[in-house]
Amino acid sequence: MRIRPRRNRISNSIRSLVRENTLSPSDLIMPLFLIDGKNIKTEIPSMPGIYRRTPDLIIQEIKSLFSLGVPAVALFPALDDSLKDRYAKESSNQKGLYQNTIRDIKNAVPEITVITDVAMDPYSSDGHDGLVDSTTGEILNDETLPILAAMAVSQAAAGADIVAPSDMMDGRIDYIRKALDDGGFKNTGILAYTAKYASAFYGPFRDALNSAPKKGDKKTYQMDPANVREAIREAELDIQEGADIIMVKPGLPYLDVIRAISEISNVPVAAYNVSGEYAMLKAASQNGWLDYEKVVLETLMSFKRAGADMILSYHAGEAAEWIHG
């Protein structure tokens, strides 16, 4: 035998020379859950180690993430039911909890990239990402667009660096881009949730925000887990409409979609390693069934290998610490 692939694995230093992908804190984006109040953090039962935090504690957490080399956070608000209505009016309140906190974060840690969520569900009494027709129950696409645009503009006005529409309405990237430009926010980026699947892996997130749909499911707007060609179509549309970054979500069960999209995309590709994926590794590790640090780093590397340029992950903080050593 003259050809021996094992020669390239013989030592740590050779393995490091031939390594095809790397994982760095600068690849990571940490999602954070926001609640109103002061000096309070409450753990999410289905996501041990992940908290809802008041603005002061969010800022503390962001300072520590930034010092570990994590360049960005994705902020999600958990609102009291009294602030929710059919039209998600609170979502564009310039003095609302979300907008105030974005401003506070950008004042405290100006260099961190703040990515904001554009979708109605945290603010909607129906728990849907779009406007619900009260007689038919239909999720109204075109009527939702101005609501999303107002939300995005108010976030940009508060200082958001990148707005991230997670709603899956048709045509929203073009609509939001135009609204941002008209509002004077031509430098605010758009990270599009491009291939967002109707997934049961979002369960713990909906616990965290108390944002589960009151009726029905999200299958008329989020994608069918059986499809990949359709993800390419969504990617082509979002790129054409002006998305700066496109994303696949969830991550681990959709590595093939990340691969397919990264091969055709001329903009960076993000992967969202979602709440249910975090819960799986955490629960198994807490039972002593998996080595948490090793499975997390292996999972995060799998996204890079699949072609993702960046990863939203609840493991981001811990992973950044381990990578630093």
Where on the chain is the footprint of ligand PBG (CB under 6 A)? 117, 119, 121, 129, 166, 202, 205-206, 218, 274-275
- Shortest distance (Å) from residue 274 CB to ligand PBG: 4
Cα torsion angle, 247, 202, 218, 250, sign: positive
Q: Which of 84, 196, 282, 304 is catalytic?
A: 196
Establish whether 249 is a catalytic residue: yes
Nearer Cβ to ligand PBG (62/274): 274
CB of residue 49 vs ligand PBG: minimum separation in angstroms? 14
The answer to whether residues 267 and 296 touch, using CB atoms and an 8 Å cutoff, is: no
Cα–Cα distance measured from residue 70 to residue 135, given in angstroms and rounded to the nearest whole number: 46
The residue nearest ligand PBG at its CB is 205
186 is catalytic: no
The CB-of-223 to ligand PBG minimum distance in angstroms stands at 11
Q: How many residues belong to the chain?
A: 325
Angle between helices 292-306 and 316-324 (to 10 degrees): 100
CB atoms within 10 A of CB 125: 15
CB of 121 to ligand PBG, least distance (A): 5
Q: Rank residues 122 and 182 by Cβ distance to ligand PBG and give the closer one.
A: 122
Question: 84, 218, 249, 304: which is the annotated catalytic residue?
Answer: 249
Place of tokens 């031939």: 18
Check residue 94 and report its DSSP letter: T
Instruction: Give the Cα separation of 267 and 269 in Å (integer).
Output: 7
**Residue 66 or residue 205: which is nearer to ligand PBG going by CB?**
205
- Select 11 or 168, whichever has its Cβ closest to ligand PBG: 168
Spatial separation of the C-alpha atoms in residues 240 and 245, rounded to whole Å:
12
Instruction: Name the DSSP class of 266.
Output: S
Catalytic positions are: 196, 249
